[in-house]
Amino acid sequence: MGIILLLSPFVFFYTAQNASANTDTKINQTVVLAKDQVVNSDYIVRGSSVDIMGTVNGDAYVVGGTVAVEGTVNGDLLVMGGNVNVKGNVMGNARIIGGNIIVTGSIGKNLSVLGGSSNLTDTAKIGESIVGAGGTFTFYGPVSKDVRIAGGQVALRNVIGGNVFVYTDHLSVSPNANITGDLTYWSNRKAIVAQGVVIKGKTTQNVLPKNATPQMQSTKFMSIIPTIVTFVIFGKIVSFFASFILGILFIKFFPVCVQKIASSIKRNFWKNVGVGFLTVIVTPIAIVLLFCTFIGMPLAVFGGILFAFSLYVAHIIAGLVIGKWAIKYVSKKDHLNWSLFAGLVIFGILSAIPVFGWLFSIIFVTAGLGAILTEKKHSYVQLRAKKLI
């Protein structure tokens, strides 16, 4: 029973797609926007390899194993990929999650990165600030404003127009670097700063001695709270855009399924809460019981992953419904993308409220989970009646 509940969201999306819509996800294909092509709206794409050589007069949402942006994006760029190379021009903000990230072009506003390796080449230009976390960071290109980075190794090789805040095991600053503001870093190693480097502000190293007293530890901790808060906020931003991109993909490739689930939540809200709440109780128990048997352990691990992902999808669907409720008061048209964006923002704000936030999150996430299961059952019954499965 537990495994059936876990698989339900995925079976539902598959069966509903075959029952009601024809979609081309291009998961194992190369997707190319040619040089002479112009997209006069937002551009949403997913493939094993994605190459944007043309012009996008809106925002670009991209998911792929290998992603290359060689053309122009006149809005924001949001990317999730294994290898990401931004060679062209992004006029707005760029938010990138990837294993290997290379920026050789220009970013008009802010750059946010989360990756194993991030490299700004000497041709790269960042119009405003950078926030990032990952393994290694190398800055050969100039950054107009602040840099806030947490990484294993960080190398500064060009002009930084603002302040620099770095958490790292190893920080190096080359002779070509010029830091207009302060350099503040948290590391147990002293930064390697070459001769000739110009740092116009203060240079501060924050190190917590191994034999520090509790009072010293408290003082050090208090001094880094602002930067901790910065990276917590960055984590929230990354989480928000990951949810938004996944939601956009659901809307793009499974529009009928998403509409059915959203309608189910609004039509039978408390019934779906009950179904979802029962699922949340029963499924972990089933997983624990499977762990108690040798044969069931792999199923328990697989089931746990599916259960966690199901809850994640449910929270995105719940955000969409909240956004639809909000948008209908300002527009008669049903803008799914804007509803998703607004709903996730509202969900994030309300769920952060102490006590109330927990209750709010539980109710709406269980409602989303219950709606997914209910609609899956309905689709299954229809397909059985038509002898399609």
- pLDDT digit string, tens, across residues 103-154: 999 999 999 887 788 999 999 999 999 988 878 899 999 999 999 988 888 9
Q: How many CB atoms lie within 10 A of CB 96?
A: 26
171-176 long-range Cβ contacts below 8 angstroms, 24+ apart:
173/197, 173/199
Inter-axis angle of helices 356-385 and 336-351, nearest 10: 140
CA atoms of 372 and 369, how far apart (whole Å): 5
Per-position DSSP letters for 116-142, written without gaps between them? EEEEE-TT-EESS-EEEEEEEEEE-S-
Residue 164 phi/psi, 5° resolution?
-120, 125
pLDDT tens by residue, 290-340: 777 667 777 777 878 888 888 888 888 888 888 888 877 666 566 777 888
Q: Residue 8: is it exposed, middle or buried by C-beta count within 10 angstroms (0-12/13-18/19+)?
A: buried
- CA trace torsion 296, 300, 301, 303 (10° rounding): 130
For 197-234, what is each residue's pLDDT tens digit? Answer: 889 999 999 875 555 444 444 454 445 555 555 555 66
Token pair of 373, please?
């299961």
The DSSP output letter for 387 is: T
pLDDT digits (tens, 9 = 90+) for 338-357: 888 888 888 888 887 877 88
Rounded CA separation 137/118 (Å) = 5
Residue 370: Cβ-neighbour burial (10 angstroms; 0-12, 13-18, 19+): buried
